[in-house]
Structure 1
Amino acid sequence: MTAAASSVLAACTDRQSVMAAHGSEAERIALLAIIVFAGAGVVMLVVVSALWLAVRGSAGQRAALAGERAIRIGGIAFPVITLTALLGYGLWLMRESLAIEARPALRIEVTGEQWWWRLGYRDRDGNTFAEANEIRIPVGVEVEFELRSADVIHSFWVPSLGGKLDMIPGRTNRLRLKADRPGVYRGQCAEYCGGPHALMALEIVALPQAEFDAWLSAGQRAASIPADEAARRGSELFLAAGCGGCHAVRGTAAEGTIGPDLSRVGERRFLAAATIPAGRGNLARFIADGQSLKPGNLMPPFRIFTPAELDALAAYLASLK
C-alpha cells in the first residue's frame, strides 16, 4: 500500500451511523429519516395537546373533542393526510434509488457466510480474484454489489453509504453504492444469522481512482517470496500443516476455498470480519485459539504449534500484501 493510501485510511475513519452520510444514497436516507422524525414530532405534539385538552380543558373543549367532527378530522382526515404526505415524499425522494441505470463501472460479488464475507473482483483484463471481509472501491464511482448467501439469510448494510439489502440463499440481489470521499466505512450483517452474528462486520475502503487501479491490477499477482527467515519458516509451516486445504494464497500450493482468501491478509486493517485489529500478535492468537477472540467461528483451534512456530506463521501472513 502506498503512503498516500495509508494516510487516507488513517485520517478518514467514519462511525457506523446513518446520519454520517458520505454517499448519495445515504444522504437521501438521512434526509428521509429527519423528515419522518420531524413528522412524528408534529403528530406527537398534536396528540399530546388533544390529551391535555381532554384532561384539563373546559367543558366546551372536552365536548368538542368528543364530537363527531373532531373524530372525523383527528381520527380519519389527519392520519390519512399526514401518512399520505410522508409516503409520497419518501417515494419521490428515493426515486433515484429505485431507478435502473446503465451498467455500473465496477461490480463486486459479495457472498455472506457464517460469519464472514467472501468477495469476488474482476480486474480490467477480465480476470477474477478473491478477497475477504475488507472491500475496496474507487471514490466517486457507483459500484454494484451482487449479494448472495452461502448458508442462511444475511443482510448487507453500510449505513454511511446506503441502505441495507438482504442476502437470501439461492437468490442474487443487487445494491448500488457510491462513496463521495476517501475513507473507511464500517458495515455490519443486519440480519441475525446465528452464533457470532454480532461479530460479522466489514469495512469498505474508498480510495482515489489511481490508488484503487493499482490495487486492482495487483489482484492476480502471486504472493511475494518471504524476505526474512521467520516468514520463510512460516510459509513452510502453512503448507505443511494443511492450512492450504481451507485457505488460498495466490501463486502457492494453497488453493483452499472453504475459508477466507489470505493472499493479501497482511494489508487488512482488521481480522475475523472486522472483529479484532490486524497484526502479528492477533494473527498468532487467532491461529492458536480463535474461539477466544470470535466465539463460534468455524476455524478450529491449532494448539499443536509452539510459540516460535506461531510467531513464524504470523510473520508469514503479515507479509502477504
Structure 2
Amino acid sequence: MKPAAGDAAQSIETVTWVLFGGGLLIFLGVMLLLAWSLRSRATSVRPRLWVWGGGVVFPALVLAALFAWVLPRMPAWKPVPPADALIVTVKAHMWWWEVRYRDTVTGADVVTANEIRIPVGKPVYFALTSADVIHSFWVPQLAGKMDMLPGRMQHLLVTAQQPGVWRGQCAEFCGAQHAQMALHVVGLQPQAFDAWLAAQARPAAAPATPRQLQGRDAFLAQRCNACHTVRGVSDEGRLGPDLTHFGSRLHLGAGILENTPEGRARWLAHIQQIKSGARMPSYDRLDAPTLEALGDWLGALQ
C-alpha cells in the first residue's frame, strides 16, 4: 500500500489506524474478560452493572471521546479555497474524465483528459461534476471519495506533499466499464507544473515527418475530429476527450494501457475488445501502415 501523499489522505490514514488500534484493544479486553470468567469460580453476577457499565456507559464514553478527537480532523464538507488555490474542474463521462484548467496568462480553458497534473505544496480545489450518471472521484493517496452528480458541482480540497504519480478510480458503479474508468494524478514541482500548463495551452505541433502527416490526414479522413478536438487541427469535436496534447499523457483509455506505440496501436485497432461499450469504434478496418501512422502522429502531440 502506498503511503498517503496529501494532507486529507494523511488525516484519513491517522483516523483509520486509531480506529483499528482502539478496536483491537477493546477486542483484547473482551477476550480477557471471557478468559477470566471461564477460569474464575462461580460467583454472583450483577447483570444490571454489566449492562449499564459495559453496554451503555463504556460505549458512550468511547464514542464521545472518539467523536471529539475525529471532528477537527475531518475535511470540510464545503471547503473554501484559499486565494492561491489552483482550481481544476473534473467532469466524469461514461467512461473517461474531462479535466479543465484555467490558463493564467490568456484566461482560456486548458482541456485534457484522464490525467490530472498538480503542483506539489499548493492547495488544489477540485470542482467535480458528471455529464451523465453518478460517478465517484477517488484518489486514495490524496483524499477520500467524493460523488460526482449530474447537474451539481461538488468540491474537494487537497494538497500534495510530495511529487509522485497516484492512481485514482471511479468508486461508484456507473455502467459496464466502471472497473476500467481510472485516472492518474501526477504531482510536479511548481516550476515544472507551470511549464507543463504553459505547454498545454499551446495548439498542437505541426507534423514533423511524412508519416506523422499521413497520420494527421487519416485522423481527418476518418472523421475522428467529429468527436475529438485537436487545437490547431480541428476544434469541432466535443463528444470525446481533447487530444491536443495526447502524446504527453502517461496512459490511454482512462488508465487501461500505457501510452506507448504498442499501446496506441492496440487501442486503435481493438477498442471494443478492450473496452466494450465505449463510444468509439474499433479501427481494425484500417491497414497496418495507416494505423501506425495515426498512432505515431497522436504520440507526437506533446
Normalising by structure 2, what TM-score?
0.94
What are the equivalent positions in structure 2 for 1:110-129 lying under 5 Å apart? 110-125=90-105, 126-129=107-110
Question: Which whole-Å CA distance do the structure 1 matches of 2:127 and 2:26 have between them?
Answer: 40
Tell me the residue number matched to 1:78.
58
Question: Which whole-Å CA distance do the structure 2 matches of 1:58 and 1:110 have between them?
Answer: 65
In the TM superposition, residue 254 of structure 1 has moved relative to its aligned partner by 4.8
Tell me the residue number matched to 1:36.
19
Question: Which whole-Å CA distance do the structure 1 matches of 2:283 and 2:155 have between them?
Answer: 38
- Relative to structure 1, the CA distance from residue 239 to residue 35 in structure 2 (aligned partners, 3 Å threshold; closer, same or farther) is same
Deviations 1:257-301 (A, max 9, x none): 111111111111111111111112221221111122223322121
* Other structure's SS at 1:286 match: helix
Give the alignment partner of residue 49 of structure 2, picking from 69, 72, 90: 69
Tell me the residue number matched to 1:93.
73
Tell me the residue number matched to 1:45.
28
What residue identity is the alignment partner of 1:67?
P
Question: Which whole-Å CA distance do the structure 2 matches of 1:249 and 1:98 have between them?
Answer: 35
Give the alignment partner of residue 156 of structure 2, picking from 164, 175, 195: 175
* Other structure's SS at 2:270 match: helix
What residue identity is the alignment partner of 1:245?
A
What residue identity is the alignment partner of 1:271?
L
Q: Is the 8 A contact 2:119 2:190 kept in 1?
A: yes
In the TM superposition, residue 86 of structure 1 has moved relative to its aligned partner by 1.3
Normalising by structure 1, what TM-score?
0.89
Question: Which whole-Å CA distance do the structure 1 matches of 2:253 and 2:99 have between them?
Answer: 14
Question: Which whole-Å CA distance do the structure 2 matches of 1:302 and 1:153 have between them?
Answer: 30
Tell me the residue number matched to 2:200.
219
What residue identity is the alignment partner of 1:22?
A
What residue identity is the alignment partner of 2:265?
A
What are the equivalent positions in structure 2 for 1:275-314 lying under 5 Å apart? 275-314=256-295
In the TM superposition, residue 25 of structure 1 has moved relative to its aligned partner by 1.2
What residue identity is the alignment partner of 2:68?
G
In the TM superposition, residue 50 of structure 1 has moved relative to its aligned partner by 3.2
1:259 aligns with 2:240: yes
Deviations 1:40-71 (A, max 9, x none): 112212232333344454312xx43x521111
Give the alignment partner of residue 109 of structure 1, picking from 89, 106, 112: 89
Question: Which whole-Å CA distance do the structure 2 matches of 1:284 and 1:101 have between them?
Answer: 42
In the TM superposition, residue 84 of structure 1 has moved relative to its aligned partner by 1.5
What are the equivalent positions in structure 2 for 1:191-230 lying under 5 Å apart? 191-230=172-211
- Relative to structure 1, the CA distance from residue 50 to residue 194 in structure 2 (aligned partners, 3 Å threshold; closer, same or farther) is farther
Q: Is the 8 A contact 2:134 2:150 kept in 1?
A: yes
Q: Is the 8 A contact 1:25 1:97 kept in 2?
A: no
What residue identity is the alignment partner of 1:120?
R
Root-mean-square deviation (Å): 1.7
Question: Which whole-Å CA distance do the structure 2 matches of 1:257 and 1:24 have between them?
Answer: 35
What are the equivalent positions in structure 2 for 1:240-251 lying under 5 Å apart? 240-251=221-232
Tell me the residue number matched to 1:156.
137
Matched length: 301
- Relative to structure 1, the CA distance from residue 92 to residue 254 in structure 2 (aligned partners, 3 Å threshold; closer, same or farther) is closer
What residue identity is the alignment partner of 1:169?
P
Structure 2 unpaired stretches of 5+ = none
What residue identity is the alignment partner of 1:90?
V
Question: Which whole-Å CA distance do the structure 2 matches of 1:100 and 1:307 have between them?
Answer: 52
* Other structure's SS at 2:161 match: coil
Question: Which whole-Å CA distance do the structure 2 matches of 1:214 and 1:263 have between them?
Answer: 16
In the TM superposition, residue 101 of structure 1 has moved relative to its aligned partner by 4.8
Q: Is the 8 A contact 1:157 1:163 kept in 2?
A: yes
What residue identity is the alignment partner of 1:85?
A
